[in-house]
Structure 1
Amino acid sequence: MPRLAEIATVIRSKNAGPLTLSFDLIFPTDQSFEAATRAQALRPTALALLYNVAPADVIVTPYRVARAIKIAMPRTIVSGSPGDHDVYGAQQHVPLLDLEI
C-alpha cells in the first residue's frame, strides 16, 4: 500500500483558532483522492488514536471538486500556552505522512 506522502501533493496542518487543528490533504488525481477517501487510516477513529483525541471530535470532510480532504480536531493543548511546542500547529501533520492508504 502506498503511504499518504506518496500520493498527496499537499499535506499540511495549521491552527483553526487556539483550540482546533486543521489539516489539508490535496491529491493530484481522482484515483488518489478516491483511495484516500476509502482509507481506514483517515477515518475519525484511526485519526483519534493517532492524535490522542476522542473520535467524536474528529471531523473528516472530503471536497471532491478540489480533490482535497479537510480534517479538523481539537488541540490537546491550547495554542501558545505553557508546554505548547508548535504555536502555529504547522508541524502537526507529520504523523500523517506514513499512513498507509
Structure 2
Amino acid sequence: MAEIGQIAQKVRSKNAGPFWLTIDIFCRNRVDFERISTGLATASLAARFRTDPEAIKRFDIADLNVVKLSLPRPAVQGTRADRDMHGAAWAALVEEMEID
C-alpha cells in the first residue's frame, strides 16, 4: 500500500465557488494514473469527507493523467462554519489516503 501523495506528481485542491470544492490529482505517467484511478474508490473519498458518494463528481481524464473530483463544501464559503475559505487544505487529506 502507498499513499496517493507518494504516487501522484501533485495533488491540488481549490475553491470552486461558495458551495463546491475541486480536487485535482496530477500523475506523471499513465501507469501512475491507472494505479490511482483504479485504486481510489469514490466511496472511500466520501467517507473521508463525510459526504454522500452520490454527491461527488468524478472525472478520470486519461489523456491528461488527471483524476478530478468535485464535491460539496461542508459549509458555505465565508460563513462562520467555513474553516478553509480557499479550499487549499483538502489536498492534504487526499494525499494521505492509502491505495493498493
**Fold agreement, TM-score > 0.5:** yes
1:22 maps to: 22
Distance 1:57 1:44 in 2: 10
Q: Which has the higher strand share?
A: 2
2:13 maps to: 13
RMSD of the alignment, in Å?
Answer: 0.9
**Amino acid in structure 1 at the alignment position of 2:5:** A
Tell me the TM-score normalized by structure 2.
0.94
TM-aligned CA deviation for residue 83 of structure 1: 2.2
Moved over 3 A (4+): none
TM-aligned CA deviation for residue 93 of structure 1: 1.4
Identical columns (%): 29
8 A Cα contact 1:23 1:71, kept in partner = yes
Aligned residues: 99
Alignment of 1:1-101 (within 5 A): 1-39=1-39, 42-101=40-99
1:66-91 Cα distance to aligned partner (Å, 9 max, x none): 10000011001001001212111011
**SS at 1:37 equivalent:** helix
**Amino acid in structure 1 at the alignment position of 2:45:** L
Tell me the TM-score normalized by structure 1.
0.93
8 A Cα contact 1:43 1:60, kept in partner = no
Please list every run of 5 or more consecutive structure 1 residues that lacks an aligned counterpart in the other structure: none
Please list every run of 5 or more consecutive structure 2 residues that lacks an aligned counterpart in the other structure: none
